[in-house]
Amino acid sequence: QLGDLARGVTIAKQLRDERLCKDCAASLESMKQFTEAAELYEMAGLFEKAAALHIQDLNFEAAAPLMKKVSTPKLHQQYAKAKEGRGAYREAMQAYEAARDGDNVVRILLDHLNEPQRAFQIVRETQSVSGALLVAKYCEKQRNIRAGIEFLFLANQDDEAFKMACQHDEMEVYEKVLGDTEDKKRHIQIAEHYEKKNMLAKAAKHYGICDEYSTALKLYLKCGERELDAA
């Protein structure tokens, strides 16, 4: 209060009284002396307060060792954004992980760290719709059609996934991501696609899934003896 900040901070550190350190830190914070306030908050065991002030003061080197003691996602998010802004993408990605922000982890992996397979695996595990859309856009830019179909489907962009499968003759990939679902609309579309391409056995299979047994049987019979068992 007398203005001799350096001496006051030194005495507080020497006494190592947590309550005194906390009170002094609060006073220093109100005076915008963030570095000194953070040091005393740390001595008082208030690691999140200390880390928050270091981040606010853009003192990331001082904040770094404290982040392991921080559990608040918001602080990790702030630290991640700050690191990303400085181009420290690996550290930013790790901080986003600590903040449980999977979509930003995926974005950093795709856009800055060139680790698409890791991003793909995260989205497959989390089933994040927004994460899947990020991956789908990345795959489109990279001309990775098969993965693009998969992640468009995970992103609930079923029509776009089907359209891509048709355009690039990758219907088997679409069938795989569709799995065992009994979506009759989709199976009819697949059946019609195969029928137009004269792939009659595959068309018949999907007509059968839709309970279109008469159409399925006719197509199986057109295939000849090799498909009699299926018929």
Give every CB contact of residue 220 below 8 A, 6+ residues apart in sequence.
200, 201, 204, 227, 228, 230, 231
Determine the pLDDT at residue 227: 54
For the chain, count helices (H), then strands (E). Answer: 16, 0
Phi, psi of 88 (to 5 degrees): -90, 75
Q: How confident is the model at residue 6 (pLDDT cuts 50, 70, 90)?
A: low
Instruction: Decide if 25 contacts 35 (C-beta within 8 A).
Output: no
225 vs 164, more confident = 164
Q: By the 8 A CB rule, do 55 and 63 touch? A: yes
The closest alpha carbon to 52, from 82, 86, 23, 93, belongs to 82
Q: Are 18 and 30 in contact (CB under 8 A)?
A: no
The Cα-based distances of 147 to 101, 121, 138, 169, 189 in angstroms read: 23, 12, 10, 14, 21
CB distance 54 to 60 below 8 Å: yes
Half-sphere exposure of 14 (CA within 13 A, CB side): 6
Based on its alpha-carbon atoms, the radius of gyration of the chain, rounded to whole angstroms, reads: 29
Whole-number average pLDDT of the chain = 88
Secondary structure class of 136 (helix, strand, coil): helix
- pLDDT tens digits, residue range 50-78? 999 999 888 988 999 999 999 999 999 99
pLDDT attached to residue 21: 77
Average pLDDT in the 135-159 region?
96
What band does 23 get if pLDDT is binned at 50, 70 and 90? confident
Distance of CA 130 to the CA centre of its chain: 8
Question: Quick check: helix, strand or coil at residue 27?
Answer: helix
pLDDT at 94: 96
